[in-house]
Amino acid sequence: MSDLIQIAQQNILAPVGLGESDLDRMLGELTGQGVDAADLYFQSSRLESWVLEDGIIKEGAHNIEQGAGIRVISGEKTGFAYSDELQLPTLQEAARAARAITRSGGSQRVQIAGTPIAKQLYAPLNPLPSLNEAEKVELLQALDREARKQDPRVKQVIVSLVAAQDIILVAAIDGTLSADVRPLVRMNVHVIAEHNGRREQGSSGGGARESLGYFIQESRGLEYAREAVRQALVNLDAVDAPAGTMPVVLGPGWPGVLLHEAVGHGLEGDFNRKGTSAFSGRIGEQVASSCCTVVDDGTLPGRRGSLNIDDEGTPSQNTVLIENGILKGYMQDKHNARLMNTASTGNGRRESYAHLPMPRMTNTYMLAGEHNPEEIIASVERGLYAVNFGGGQVDITSGKFVFSASEAYLIENGKVTRPVKGATLIGNGPEAMSRISMVGDDLKLDKGVGVCGKEGQSVPVGVGQPTLKLDELTVGGTEQ
Amino acid sequence: MSDMKSRQLDLQQSVEELLQEATRQGASAAEAAVSSDAGLSVTVRLGETETIEHTRDNGLGVTVYFGHRKGSASTSDLSPQAIKETVEAACNFARYTSEDDCAGLADSSLMATELPDLDLYHPWDQSVEEAIELAIRCETAARETDARIFNSEGATLNSHNGLQVYGNTHGFIGGYPSSRHSLSCAVLGKQGESMQRDYWYTLARKGGQLESAESVGEMAAKRTVARLNGRRIKTQQAPVLFQADVAVGLLRSFVGAIRGSSLYRKASFLLDQLEKPVFPAFINIHEDPLLPGGLASSAYDSEGVATSRKDFIRDGVLSSYVLDSYAARKLGMQTTGNGGGVRNLRISSGDQDREGLLKSMQRGLLVTELMGQGVNMVTGDYSRGVTGFWIENGEIQFPVEEITIAGNMKEMFLGLQEVGSDIETRSSVQTGSWLIDNMMIAGE
């Protein structure tokens, strides 16, 4: 929507005296023989964070960052420079550095035009002042009180709150002029419980592209506190996890990190253009069991991984990655799409103006199946039921992936019995996906805490899935 | 150099302005840090230039104290207007944070008074074309090492120069320029159905101290083809040898567990272990922050406190925590000059290299890569994905993958049998390979 462009221009360009005609002119200087694409990315972001620890408000911090990144692409070559100073001469110097990727000089006229966004997935608000300071302090304290009153075994509570606003504007020699105002809030509660000399931790949190009121509505914040305590107490009773290969049932929601690692990264366009992924050249092939349909959907209103437009100005989309087990498509940015003769899927993302965009996930999840979750658990004689996870990692070439359970239980004779300690699960992406034998009817998305790292760049993402059963996965416990 | 000197004076002036502005706005104490980095990063892939990145980053951070209340703010904008606004933001926070007896600057008597030149700044004068050529030589060597290398993620040369200045209202101000250069390469190998990728890199303060481009490429290729046709092994208990570059992670976990913030939060598996044995008696671990040319050398810590050589483990016994002034006050102790972490940490090593350690182990698992974050710092529980090799009769038999190892770090540390002489020098935390007596392997 053009009002987003206006907001971005007022916030980033106007204070340094830059106008649309300056962008036209700068882009013009980036054109020339051999230049296939070039863009300017302006960003202004502010972030505020608070930490409560030992019952007191310990830290409060504020960060302001702004700058511009300039990229010029010729064939498979990319020239890139950025600056945190937005004065025209500095930008022109950066442009010359980026432009040096091609030797031929040249200058063509470029006229950019604002493209309207079909549907705004979140309001262009600034979450930082959406509660006043006293209200933020009260919110943090309320979560601390809630956690401590759950159980006397709770010994330490750390509550954090982050509010950020990111305003971006992107202009490209293909005529693109787009902007977005992205709010993002997040709260986390970390708890340590102690009993008979044993200490265990639990943590929970959530977030969205919303104002801070999100944590007060539906008592979401208080629920994070209760959930963190519940996990810590469960872990106080946990016995050693089993070691070896066995059936694994994953709970709904956040365990969807499985999909992010086992298939998501391997389906990013850059790896597939270069032929470095275990999924390269496999479009149309069976890469998962037929009960699996996996999508990457950046269009879910308000979600942490959602974007009105990606960082190249392409509207985000709902992209089917795997349909009934068949590989349907990759996630693309403009650069890789152009080299693979296809279109961007709106997955071109970057951590900031100081980083190059590349294909990244948004919200990646599996669609619901038809089984009742209890029925899935009842089908397992001996196995693991894992409901909460820390992070994961994947080697996209060999397809090997891991993810670390932080709350898990044994399944014995079709029943969930004892809690077990956290353990790493390891598998091979395509193999693990082919061993999914039951998919639940209880699709859930995570609560909005996901951060994805790739080549040193972090971006917020979402994951989700229904309860599902893998007939075989290796569980890295200590009990044989 | 003179250019860098004048830039350093500029940054020192920014820090002084920040501190004055903080005092003017009513802060009883303040500290500020400013940094400025510039660099070049080029990547080549399949013999062609892929990206040329010119980087330039500025950062400024200030923390103000109003008595025992604290507020912080940071920005990438070093203009006078931004300095004023940043201090205002920090002061605003200090109105809402709580009174915290432990908050404040480190004691003024502990400030570093001698700031020797630690030989950290060696800019590498090379053109973009020269950088590209070096990267191409590296990647070409990798691709020509073995016929099974069929694809590449490329080779990257990074060269960065930076300046950092820290000051506080005790009157301490320090700053120094530094440089860091690296060359890395990642290639893919294929044999039958098996496809693998691996990498290698070299890192140094001086460009001339990097390993040769060809040797980095060759090493990347050799590591990649060695992994081809990896198998799984049966679930079992066995001794484990962590190759030096992955053993660094274990040493980092040890440091994390004796860090003040983990201790006062009771979020460490090494709680209350001071003066107790944590490692076998033949192990010593010490840091040398004043090492000339070291990757983490600095004469003062992130609070201006003078750093010094010290032992953390003496004959297996934990002799010091890793403390900054805040954690020290929380624990009723004195800062160890470790604000910002440890600097040039090293574990004592034996006289056997990796091959010698494999002979000592005879039969077991050699770990060359770890995956995932399965390290619980509260309990010490450890469970990670592994790539490596199976060892029989002291020799590599075949590559293994898609298995996990698990144990508890307390027991792993005490079960350390030997540390290799094959020291990993690309890290500020340095160790040789670790032979651990027994861990649980989960596989088939």
* Predicted local distance difference test score (pLDDT) of residue B1: 46
Q: Among B71, B197, B267, select the one facing A60 at the smallest CB separation.
A: B71
Judge whether residue B2 has pLDDT over 70: no
* Predicted local distance difference test score (pLDDT) of residue A104: 59
B24/B27 Cα distance (integer angstroms): 7
Q: Do B402 and A79 touch (CB under 8 A)?
A: no
What interface predicted TM-score (ipTM) does this complex get? 0.93
> At residue A47, what is the residue type?
L
Give me the percent of chain A exceeding a pLDDT of 70.
98
pLDDT per residue as tens digits for the range A379-417? 999 999 999 998 899 999 999 999 999 999 999 999 999
Say which residue the tokens 């987003």 belong to: A4
Interface of B with A in 325-354 (CB under 8 A): none
pLDDT per residue as tens digits for the range B40-84? 999 999 999 999 999 888 999 999 999 999 999 999 888 888 889
Q: Do A84 and B77 touch (CB under 8 A)?
A: yes
Beta strand segments in B258-319, E: 285-287, 310-314, 317-318
How far does A449 lie from chain B, in Å, by closest CA? 16
Q: Where are the alpha helices (DSSP H) in B208-283?
A: 213-227, 244-257, 260-264
Q: Do B441 and A243 touch (CB under 8 A)?
A: yes
pLDDT per residue as tens digits for the range A418-454? 999 989 999 999 999 999 999 999 999 999 999 999 9
For all residues of chain A together, what is the average pLDDT? Answer: 94
- B chain contacts of residue A427, beta-carbon cutoff 8 Å: 402
What residues form DSSP beta bridges with A335?
A: none
Q: Which of A104-118, A186-200, A437-451, B117-131 has the lowest mean pLDDT?
A: A104-118
* Ramachandran angles phi, psi of B26, nearest 5°: 105, 0
* Predicted local distance difference test score (pLDDT) of residue A108: 67
Six token digits for residue B385: 């994905």
DSSP strand pairing (B48-66 vs A77-83): parallel
Judge whether residue B214 has pLDDT over 50: yes
Q: Do A98 and B54 touch (CB under 8 A)?
A: yes
Six token digits for residue B257: 């567990």
Q: Do A404 and B374 touch (CB under 8 A)?
A: yes
pLDDT per residue as tens digits for the range A257-311? 999 999 999 999 999 999 999 999 999 999 999 999 999 999 999 999 999 999 9
The pLDDT confidence band at residue A1, using thresholds 50, 70 and 90, is: very low
Question: What would the DSSP string read from start to end of A351-390?
Answer: SSTTS--EE--SEEEEPP-SB-HHHHHHT-SEEEEEEEEE
pLDDT per residue as tens digits for the range B140-193? 999 999 999 999 999 999 999 999 999 999 999 999 999 999 999 999 999 999
B400/B407 Cα distance (integer angstroms): 19
Say which residue the tokens 């691996």 belong to: B198
Q: Do B406 and A423 touch (CB under 8 A)?
A: yes
Quote the radius of gyration of chain B (alpha carbons, Å): 24
pLDDT per residue as tens digits for the range A339-382? 999 999 999 999 999 999 999 999 999 999 999 999 999 999 99
Six token digits for residue A339: 């080299």
- B chain contacts of residue A59, beta-carbon cutoff 8 Å: 70, 72, 97
Q: Do B196 and A397 touch (CB under 8 A)?
A: yes
Contact assessment for residue B219 and residue B245, using Cβ atoms and an 8 Å cutoff: no
Give me the percent of chain A exceeding a pLDDT of 90.
88
DSSP strand pairing (A462-465 vs A363-366): parallel
- B chain contacts of residue A428, beta-carbon cutoff 8 Å: 402
Judge whether residue B356 has pLDDT over 80: yes
Closest of B322, B371, B304, B318 to residue B167, by C-alpha: B304
Beta strand segments in B250-309, E: 285-287
A276/A337 Cα distance (integer angstroms): 16
Interface of B with A in 45-104 (CB under 8 A): 45, 48-58, 70-77, 82, 85-86, 89-90, 92-100, 103
Six token digits for residue B393: 């009769």
Mutate to test the interface with A, among B41, B51, B231 (most CBs of A within 10 A): B51
B23 contact A CB<8A: no
Q: Do B402 and A426 touch (CB under 8 A)?
A: yes
Q: Do A402 and B372 touch (CB under 8 A)?
A: yes
Q: Do A53 and B265 touch (CB under 8 A)?
A: yes
Closest of A58, A239, A238, A225 to residue A151, by C-alpha: A225
Judge whether residue A105 has pLDDT over 70: no
Q: Do B72 and A61 touch (CB under 8 A)?
A: yes
DSSP strand pairing (B364-371 vs B236-242): parallel
Residue of chain A nearest B269, judged by CA positions: A199
Contact assessment for residue A340 and residue A267, using Cβ atoms and an 8 Å cutoff: no
Q: Is B236 exposed, middle or buried (0-12, 13-18, 19+ CB in 10 A)?
A: middle
Judge whether residue A118 has pLDDT over 80: no
Q: How many residues does chain B have?
A: 444
B108 contact A CB<8A: no
* Predicted local distance difference test score (pLDDT) of residue B181: 98
Contact assessment for residue A318 and residue A295, using Cβ atoms and an 8 Å cutoff: yes
- A chain contacts of residue B50, beta-carbon cutoff 8 Å: 76-78
Q: Among B96, B373, B403, select the one facing A137 at the smallest CB separation.
A: B96
Contact assessment for residue A265 and residue A396, using Cβ atoms and an 8 Å cutoff: yes
The pLDDT confidence band at residue A97, using thresholds 50, 70 and 90, is: confident
Closest of B302, B297, B312 to residue B428, by C-alpha: B297
Judge whether residue A112 has pLDDT over 90: no
pLDDT per residue as tens digits for the range B13-42? 999 999 999 999 999 999 999 999 999 999
A123/B321 Cα distance (integer angstroms): 48
Beta strand segments in A54-197, E: 56-74, 77-83, 113-114, 154-172, 176-195
How far does A128 lie from chain B, in Å, by closest CA? 12
* Ramachandran angles phi, psi of A453, nearest 5°: -110, 135
Q: Do A100 and B51 touch (CB under 8 A)?
A: no
Q: Among A62, A156, A391, select the one facing B265 at the smallest CB separation.
A: A156
Judge whether residue A106 has pLDDT over 60: no
Interface of B with A in 389-428 (CB under 8 A): 401-408
CA distances A291 to A267, A434, B53, B268, Å, are 19, 9, 44, 43
Q: How many residues does chain A have?
A: 480
* Predicted local distance difference test score (pLDDT) of residue B14: 92
Count of pairs with CB atoms under 8 A, one residue in A, one in B:
244
Q: Do A278 and B195 touch (CB under 8 A)?
A: yes
Mutate to test the interface with A, among B64, B83, B235 (most CBs of A within 10 A): B235
